[in-house]
Structure 1
Amino acid sequence: MNTPKQISQWRIVAASVCGTSHIKNQQLCQDAHHWQILPNDVLVIAAADGAGSASLGKVGAMIAVETAIEHISDCENIPSILAEDGLLHDLLTESILAAKKAVEDEADVCKHQPDDLASTLIIAIATPKVVAVAQIGDGLAVAKDSTGNLQALTIPNHGEYINETTFLTSSDALTTTQIKILRHNIVNIGVLTDGLQMLALNMLIGEPHKPFFFPLFDFVANAEDKIVAKEQLVKFLCSDKITKRTDDDLTLVIASLSN
């Protein structure tokens, strides 16, 4: 009797929570995230942080992540694209352009300026053999391979000052976009917005903080109930351990490949 081959599957736990400063000021969470698993173990993740100075930053962030995921999901011949770095680079660029256009179109409909819907954007495409990331603005994307090596795929893109960044609607959005393609045996992916980057990244050397990520990767790998796991992640993000070190909105998307 033939034993069915075990199929690798992504497990994902993700949450966006309102920062304590926004709660205090009775503001909405400006972050947004979206993810989808496509055929052949292709995981697509998007996260965005609406600009605090933008009146419709939350709207811009939501449109950006949803459009980016939709554009990739609708793309034909994904396996062929994933096999070539050039095609993969083009797909990420096209996804950013699609998100940018969708935000600008929404601004026009709402009779606002595009900057009123300003947000950052991180897009990640991952399979067990490759991960590709595009990032505009701050935030962080990391990957862990089968040997336990943890790597920052992108780093926060700041302006002259720590609280400055580039947004999807900025004139230099495309020229400052970080794109990274890593071909390795990928087992974990992490994507987060800037509210967590001081906890998750050694800013001086640009290396992700293993004590932050590794327990989270283990948590996702062992999560059986998606609803309970998300509740636990929200509880973690709202805990004193986190909120004593950051008062910003927080988004965290953690993925683990299980056999």
Structure 2
Amino acid sequence: MNRFKQSSQWLTVAASVCGTSHLKTQQPCQDAHRWRILPDNVLVVAVADGAGSASLGKLGAAIATETVIEHISIQEITSDTLADDDLLSNLLADALLAARKAVENEAVKCSSQFHDLATTLIIAIATPKVAAVAQIGDGLAVGKNSAGELLALTLPNSGEYINETTFLTSLDAIDTAQIKLWRENIVNIGVLTDGLQMLALNMVIGEPHKPFFLPLFDFATNSQDPTTAKEQLVNFLSSDRITQRTDDDLTLVLAAFKSNGHSN
């Protein structure tokens, strides 16, 4: 599904890698990501981080991201949809509900408890003129506009205590979800799980960290071969520069809009 589209003007590179703490304990990566480019250059991204305390967190993350992409892909997203704040917000809310229901159904199928599949979830819908994002739990979505300014599309939703967050399976998940719309000339989008939060976000002022994002957005914009770009991103996420500062699973989705098109 996540194939490079030569006919599209969105260039997207994404990767999930297992954290060093999980490698040491031989646990699988519990992050998941999916993306798809719909007609008229509508980019849809879904990123999830299965709860480390949940026995089936990896499954919950996979089900949530897959459901979001499939649910949004079958909707008729028109120029009217993209121009209407309420329609866009409802589209995101419906996708969150669909993901929650799918995870709940999977729990029943597995004879497990709902919370066994606990996961965070971030959804981004982007065109060159608008970014619409929904988020449950921690992680971060960032955009860059045509003026070169970084936009914190969402911020981590942490609980009352450190390392506490809301999950898709939480009772108040849908009611407390962040749903935000940005009507800007969007040229880059980045979505990441909480393993990268401390590197990507200036927690004091709640702003994206320019030295982290700007080189990565340039990398996405100038990428040529999708296979090579993904390998480079995996190597970056697995590098000592990153793993010496975080031992968590890491997911990063980067997208760049090329107004003049792109072909190999």
TM > 0.5 fold call:
yes
Q: CA deviation at 1:224?
A: 0.6
1:189-200 aligned within 5 A: 189-200=189-200
Secondary structure in 2 matching 1:106:
helix
Residue 93 of structure 2: aligned partner: 93
Deviation string for 1:131-157 (max 9, x for gaps)?
Answer: 000000000001100001101011111
Q: CA deviation at 1:57?
A: 0.3
Matching residue's letter, 2:63: I
Residue 231 of structure 2: aligned partner: 231
1:216-255 aligned within 5 A: 216-255=216-255
Residue 170 of structure 1: aligned partner: 170
**Equivalent pair of 2:47/2:121 in contact (CA under 8 Å):** yes
RMSD: 0.9
Once residues 216 and 42 of structure 1 are traced to their aligned partners in structure 2, the CA distance between those partners, rounded to angstroms, is 21
Matching residue's letter, 1:144: K
Matching residue's letter, 1:162: I
Secondary structure in 1 matching 2:33:
strand
Identical aligned pairs, as a percentage? Answer: 72
Secondary structure in 2 matching 1:161:
coil
Gaps of 5+ in 2: 1-6
Residue 206 of structure 1: aligned partner: 206
Matching residue's letter, 1:240: D
**Equivalent pair of 1:8/1:257 in contact (CA under 8 Å):** no
Once residues 176 and 138 of structure 1 are traced to their aligned partners in structure 2, the CA distance between those partners, rounded to angstroms, is 12
Once residues 174 and 76 of structure 1 are traced to their aligned partners in structure 2, the CA distance between those partners, rounded to angstroms, is 23
1:114 to 2:89 alignment:
no
Matching residue's letter, 1:153: L
Once residues 77 and 164 of structure 2 are traced to their aligned partners in structure 1, the CA distance between those partners, rounded to angstroms, is 38
Residue 4 of structure 1: aligned partner: none
Residue 39 of structure 2: aligned partner: 39
Secondary structure in 1 matching 2:228:
helix
Residue 135 of structure 1: aligned partner: 135
Runs of 4+ in 1 over 4 A off after TM superposition: none
1:136-151 aligned within 5 A: 136-151=136-151
Once residues 203 and 77 of structure 1 are traced to their aligned partners in structure 2, the CA distance between those partners, rounded to angstroms, is 35
What TM-score, normalized by structure 1, do the two folds share?
0.96
1:75 to 2:75 alignment:
yes
Deviation string for 1:81-126 (max 9, x for gaps)?
Answer: 1110000000000000000000000000100011000000000000
Residue 15 of structure 1: aligned partner: 15
Change (3 A) 1:101 1:56: same
**Equivalent pair of 2:8/2:37 in contact (CA under 8 Å):** no
Gaps of 5+ in 1: 1-6
Secondary structure in 2 matching 1:153:
strand
Deviation string for 1:137-182 (max 9, x for gaps)?
Answer: 0000011000011010111111122210000000010121001100
Q: CA deviation at 1:60?
A: 0.3
Secondary structure in 2 matching 1:63:
helix
Q: CA deviation at 1:241?
A: 0.3
Residue 3 of structure 1: aligned partner: none
Once residues 214 and 136 of structure 1 are traced to their aligned partners in structure 2, the CA distance between those partners, rounded to angstroms, is 25
What TM-score, normalized by structure 2, do the two folds share?
0.94
- Out of 138-147 and 155-164, give the one that drifted further: 155-164
Once residues 256 and 33 of structure 1 are traced to their aligned partners in structure 2, the CA distance between those partners, rounded to angstroms, is 17
Residue 3 of structure 2: aligned partner: none
1:54 to 2:59 alignment:
no
Q: CA deviation at 1:190?
A: 0.4
Once residues 83 and 89 of structure 1 are traced to their aligned partners in structure 2, the CA distance between those partners, rounded to angstroms, is 11
Deviation string for 1:3-49 (max 9, x for gaps)?
Answer: xxxx8700001000000000000000000000000000000000000
**Equivalent pair of 1:136/1:176 in contact (CA under 8 Å):** yes
